[in-house]
Amino acid sequence: MDEVLLARWQFGITSVYHFLFVPLTLGLSIVVAIMETMYVRTNNEVYKKMAKFWGKLFLLNFSMGVVTGIVQEFHFGMNWSEYSRFMGDIFGAPLAMEALTAFFLESTFMGLWIFGWDRLSKRLHAACIWIVAFASNLSAFWILAANSFMQHPVGYAIRNGRAEMTDFLALITNPYVAFQFPHTVLSGVVTAGIFVLAISAYHLLRGTHLEVFRKSFKFGLVWSIVGVFAVMGSGHLQTQYVAKVQPMKLAATEALWESADPAPFAIAAVIDEKKQINTFELAVPGALTFLAHDSFKGEVKGIKELQAAAVAQHGPGNYVPDVTALFWSFRAMVGAGMLMAAVTLLCGWLLIRNKLESYPLALKAMLLTLPLPYIANSSGWFVTEAGRQPWMVIGLQKVAQAASPNVTAAEIWITMIGFTLIYGILAIAAVYLAVKFIKQGPVDSKPDIPAATVKGATLWN
């Protein structure tokens, strides 16, 4: 493999791994904040138990997100130094602002929250987790604003052989981020909701800690149903916008080789990328046009036409991303979303009729949905990033021009294997702890220091 491909793999592995933890942090921080606020408002100890139990899992997830996030910030310079030179004037600013506005807040107030149960007033302590939740979601905004530039460059000029910022306001009001940010945050909401539901379902099935998990389940259900439909809506709007500004990404995601008016939506297809044809298609006529334009009339441009246009504009080259992978990733995301909607609605219906706990199958189904948000999050990002190929920054810089010229294949192999190994070991340790905490439930863990020296309430015991 050449350096560029290796660097892409490394970025893919570390980014997907990092993003396993990010959405849960985004959503669960808010969930814990709400639970603690309910405790402050009502003085009901059950809410405190809930905040602490979910908070414990949140922290585990949070720490994994933090440590894998450091790699992300260093990556651009390490593997993509030409990108950093070309884009630094624009891309560096949101990254620095992310650190200044969000990371400091997040890390400082997280520390206060973890160690401050007895040192801060109840209200101030709850405020700390709200600040963490705010900062986490703010950091998502900055990094998405940076990513949005790569998808849809705005507010810049090409001067001195690089992209230079001419309008900061345009950068942060990029319509692309206006669509991408809500979709990402809402996917975090859903991830947290399904996480709470699946684990609550586990305890409801076992009949353990019913008070805490009945409340958690109800909360998670409302949260998830609202979230899952909002994430679908925001995703739909985002795709409509992508259809406008990244027609190639849309065409590749839909495996639409020929321009069509109206264009069909393929539910499944056998794709032959070499011959540029789908040898088999299960399609709904006109549906793609409707999805893209809210009307049954209107053209959706096909891959072949867009490729020809790209060649005319940017010179010879292959401008078609990996169609098969995009096609199926998108369907994995949508399919996972629909399954989550179905299971949460089913459980909601049973809950309203007060029959939930007499249908263990429904609870088992809920438990089994746990991987779905992760599948949806990863495949969604895959569509976004792989759909940008061969461009690093659409229209401005290709991936092949962006890699570090002085980093050798051997060096990338070393780091890729190293990161993969360490990430694998950490995954085992984190899952071990998570499973242990989940099974334990919201119990006071045994004090592991001599009882005589324990005085007053402490955090986890």
Beta carbons of 343 and 366 less than 8 angstroms apart: yes
Our finding on whether 226 is near other proteins (CB under 8 A) is no
Return the bridge partners of 271, or none: 278
The HSE-up count of residue 399 (CA atoms within 13 Å, CB side) is 21
End-to-end Cα distance, the chain = 52
Interface segment toward other proteins; rule CB under 8 A; list 28-36, 176-184, 300-308, 429-437: 429-437
Give the residue, chosen from 13, 16, 114, 287, that forms a contact with other proteins under the rule CB under 8 A. 114
Q: How far is the CB of 422 from other proteins (least distance, A)?
A: 6
Give the residue, chosen from 24, 51, 90, 129, that forms a contact with other proteins under the rule CB under 8 A. 90
Interface segment toward other proteins; rule CB under 8 A; list 249-257, 311-319, 357-365, 403-411: 403-411
Our finding on whether 108 is near other proteins (CB under 8 A) is yes
Our finding on whether 441 is near other proteins (CB under 8 A) is no
Q: How far is the CB of 75 from other proteins (least distance, A)?
A: 8
Our finding on whether 104 is near other proteins (CB under 8 A) is yes
d(CA 214, CA 114): 26
Give the residue, chosen from 6, 32, 64, 347, that forms a contact with other proteins under the rule CB under 8 A. 64
Binding-site size, other proteins (CB under 8 A): 80
Comparing CB distances to other proteins, the nearer of 93 and 260 is: 93
Query: From its phi and psi, is residue 120 left (phi > 0), alpha (psi between -120 and 50) or beta?
Result: beta
Interface segment toward other proteins; rule CB under 8 A; list 312-320, 352-360, 391-399, 452-460: 452-460
Q: Print burial letters for 128-158: b (CB count within 10 Å at least 16), e (below 16).
A: bbbbbbbbbbbbbbbbbbbbbbbbbbbbbee
Our finding on whether 454 is near other proteins (CB under 8 A) is yes
Our finding on whether 119 is near other proteins (CB under 8 A) is yes
- Between the alpha carbon of residue 305 and those of residues 29, 181, 240, the distances in Å are 46, 30, 19
**Residues 4 to 63 in contact with other proteins, rule: CB under 8 A:** 59-60, 63
Beta carbons of 106 and 135 less than 8 angstroms apart: yes
Comparing CB distances to other proteins, the nearer of 9 and 460 is: 460
**Residues 164 to 183 in contact with other proteins, rule: CB under 8 A:** 164-166, 168
Give the residue, chosen from 79, 278, 329, 389, that forms a contact with other proteins under the rule CB under 8 A. 79
Comparing CB distances to other proteins, the nearer of 11 and 327 is: 11
d(CA 50, CA 66): 23
Our finding on whether 100 is near other proteins (CB under 8 A) is yes
Our finding on whether 67 is near other proteins (CB under 8 A) is yes
Q: How far is the CB of 358 from other proteins (least distance, A)?
A: 36
Q: How far is the CB of 155 from other proteins (least distance, A)?
A: 10
Our finding on whether 96 is near other proteins (CB under 8 A) is yes
Neighbours of 317 (CB within 10 A): 12
